[in-house]
Structure 1
């Protein structure tokens, strides 16, 4: 196990940080990547506290040259690549009438095309090692959620892409999995960078529905969120299990929530559920 190498994106905080430390503790050689190496303090501190070593490198998932340089560097320095965990992503809040299509494209660049950039560059090496391609998506990749149209669209796209890729990759020895967290107590929500009160004030005819959604979501993150370490357990399962499932949820709540959609042939159960979130 000590010779196996995993590259993880988006490790500056949250699930990515926790997964990097957990994988290193499990005996993997972990290449922990992030867009801005200047934000690696928390990652390095967590590794030191856990008594593990990480190979910290820069990787911007939206920059194909950065992705290629990182993947090539890992293989040159370590001699192999056995797994990739696509974790980097960006949150987004908005609704179609009130935002530009360019804003939606930006969400897709990070959350969908960023995953493709990394996966495409890694696949030749994963084929060589009989490796694993793991992507952290979201329950929002299964159930569409109010005011998350662009974010859920990107996560739906990732799930569809990976579900379609999985049998093709398996024919060539690569295992593909997706991990679906629910609410996780991380910096993810804060990293959206929104003034929520200002967003509600500027929402026009959507203001009442947006306020209801914000109130519900803030309460969920404050009162019912998992820790990053708890969510990372599912990522580690995808990495280490003999025969990991294609789809893994990170909690009982996430399993129940996604189960509504996966058993909902006509869509009425999902819309009945999420309709209550906006009053």
Structure 2
């Protein structure tokens, strides 16, 4: 792939998306850095300027839950650059809770941004990626392989993304499009901070699940204290972007590889239960 190639990345106002946009530009790509609210582009633009790649980072509005927004953004990219060589599906939102204490609408909202948004962006981009013989790279999560307590809706959406991409990969390959999923563990970013949830409020209304939720939150805070940086987690995205033939599944750390490996070798489900059960007691 040449230095004139164009990559569209969703969810770039912070975290992995921001780091991936800057790193892609540093690798010589034109990075179309998208976000729902372009008023939040300040951190990205500052990081791009500090890296000396501001001229290769272009901010555009894109809301993955709005089909019209996706179409308008892609139309602009093709009109301005003539091609799209890669799509990085990064936009997403965490959600903490358990189904008895939540609502079906909460689950639908999690699926809308984390799953249907990925499907919609991928579907819209594929004609352009076919033309360029490009690739789809999707940030999933170790939670897309191992179901985690109090992450039912989030993990369900990420499982769905993994199944969708695993099914799409051989089909897309017949028309020259490579498909990869990138699986981070804990990342020190604004992702969890931007939950839009009052965790103290969730805990106060947890009822019979209070002890389990307290144990889970304590364990989670500890894991995020030892998290990867967004730049570390974004490095495998650039690997997938630039490799001649990237792997379908890439973890972002040795810890993530070990964690996912438990599930991938767990034929009867007991290993995962033994792994995550202590998180809630």
TM-score range with shorter-chain normalisation? over 0.9
Q: Does 1:207 align with 2:220?
A: no
Gaps of 5+ in 2: none
Q: For residues 198 and 218 of structure 2, what CA distance do their matches in structure 1 show?
A: 14
Instruction: State the number of aligned residues.
Output: 278
Match of 1:180 in 2: 183
Q: Does 1:42 align with 2:43?
A: yes
Match of 2:120 in 1: 117
Superposition deviation, residue 3 in structure 1 = 1.2
Match of 1:10 in 2: 11
Q: For residues 197 and 69 of structure 2, what CA distance do their matches in structure 1 show?
A: 28
Superposition deviation, residue 197 in structure 1 = 2.2
Superposition deviation, residue 194 in structure 1 = 2.4
Matched position secondary structure for 1:33: strand
Q: For residues 121 and 187 of structure 1, what CA distance do their matches in structure 2 show?
A: 28
Counterpart mapping for 1:9-28 below 5 A: 9-28=10-29
Match of 1:242 in 2: 244
Superposition deviation, residue 256 in structure 1 = 0.3
Q: CA RMSD in A?
A: 0.6
Counterpart mapping for 1:22-171 below 5 A: 22-52=23-53, 53=55, 54-171=57-174
Q: Deviations over 1:205-232 (max 9, x none)?
A: 000000000000011101x200000000
Match of 2:235 in 1: 233
Q: Which runs of 4+ in 1 moved over 6 A?
A: none
Q: Deviations over 1:5-36 (max 9, x none)?
A: 00000000000000000000000011000000
Matched position secondary structure for 1:6: strand
Matched position secondary structure for 1:190: coil
Q: Which moved more, 1:190-199 or 1:202-211?
A: 190-199
Q: For residues 124 and 199 of structure 2, what CA distance do their matches in structure 1 show?
A: 37
Match of 1:273 in 2: 275
Q: Deviations over 1:126-158 (max 9, x none)?
A: 000000000000000000000000000000000
Superposition deviation, residue 193 in structure 1 = 2.4
Q: For residues 103 and 154 of structure 1, what CA distance do their matches in structure 2 show?
A: 12
Gaps of 5+ in 1: none
Q: For residues 125 and 198 of structure 1, what CA distance do their matches in structure 2 show?
A: 45
Q: Deviations over 1:172-192 (max 9, x none)?
A: 000000000000000001000
1:192 equivalent among 175, 191, 195: 195
Matched position secondary structure for 2:257: helix
Matched position secondary structure for 2:12: coil
Matched position secondary structure for 2:33: strand
Q: For residues 49 and 62 of structure 1, what CA distance do their matches in structure 2 show?
A: 31
